[in-house]
Amino acid sequence: MPAVATNLDACCGCQSCNVCPVAAISYDGESKVVISSECVGCGSCMGACPCGVIEMQ
Ligand code: SF4
Ligand code: SF4
């Protein structure tokens, strides 16, 4: 299951999700969090996000 940014309005830009072992998630100031197809579904970014933005789907 890949990570999906489901609640981008809640993203505060803290960049705590920048823990990805394969560099599949990135924060960009405008559209905020972008998750690429490289995601291997480890769940680390979901666990690191304090705002509940990321889900595994
Ligand atoms: S679930 Fe794991 S592999 Fe996928 S974007 Fe998050 S940290 Fe990276
Ligand atoms: S950890 Fe959550 S709140 Fe912080 S930048 Fe990433 S998605 Fe946004």
Residue with tokens 């830009």: 13
The closest ligand to the CA of 19 turns out to be 1
Residue 4 Cβ inside 6 Å of ligand 2? The answer reads no
Q: Specify the 3-state DSSP secondary structure of 35.
A: strand
Q: What is the mean pLDDT of the chain?
A: 95
Q: Which structural domains are found in the chain, ordered by start?
A: 3-51 (3.30.70.20)
Q: 3-state DSSP call for residue 11?
A: coil
CA–CA gap between residue 41 and residue 1 (Å, rounded): 5
**Which pLDDT belongs to residue 29?**
83
Q: Is the dihedral of CA 24, 51, 28, 54 positive or negative?
A: positive
Count Cβ atoms within 10 A of the Cβ of residue 12 and give its class: 0-12 exposed, 13-18 middle, 19 or more buried.
Answer: exposed
**Does the pLDDT value for residue 4 go beyond 90?**
yes
- Pocket of ligand 2 contains residue 13 by CB under 6 Å: yes
